[in-house]
Amino acid sequence: MKFPWKNKEEPPKPRPMTDAEYLKLGKAVEQVYVSGYASKKQLFKMSLYKGIGYGLGIFIGGTIIVALLAYTISQFETVPFLKDVLEPFQQTIQQVNGGPIAPQ
């Protein structure tokens, strides 16, 4: 089959790889991965920093989302379906504080 945009034949299909070739390829990929770092200590440090950054990002992002959600919900005067759910919490807070919650 000829490609219409080129005057060349279709390249031959590759033969299936043997288990030995897959093993050799795996070792080569592992060597490339490991040799990208100067030492195992540096690999550990980079992985640690990556994990700390990921965890911190998830924490800050989650905090922002929860804060925005809480702010949005607080803008509603009364939400009928939430009133029954939140009433026991409000009563508990009033009992602990010794009186009704004063609006600010």
Is 14 a domain residue? no
Identify whether 11 is part of a domain: no
Q: 60 or 76: whose pLDDT is higher?
A: 60
User: Residue 63 falls within a domain, yes or no?
Assistant: yes
* The token pair that represents 49 in the structure block: 């920093």
Q: Tell me whether residue 3 is in a domain.
A: no
The domain tally of the chain equals 1
Q: What are phi and psi of 102, to 5 degrees?
A: -85, 130
Residue 37 maps to a domain = yes
Looking at beta carbons, which pairs linking 94-98 to residues 24 or more positions away fall under 8 Å?
none
In angstroms, the CA 101 to CA 71 distance is 18
What pLDDT digit, counting tens, does each position of 12-62 carry?
Answer: 788 888 999 999 988 888 877 777 655 678 778 888 999 999 999 999 999
User: What share of the chain in percent tops pLDDT 70?
Assistant: 77
89 pLDDT more than 80: no
* Mean model confidence pLDDT for the chain: 79
Residue 38 included in any domain? yes
User: Looking at the domain assignment, is residue 2 inside a domain?
Assistant: no
Decide if 102 is inside a domain.
no
Token pair for 30: 């592992």
Q: Which residues pair with 9 in a beta bridge?
A: 2
Q: What domain range includes position 53?
A: 19-96
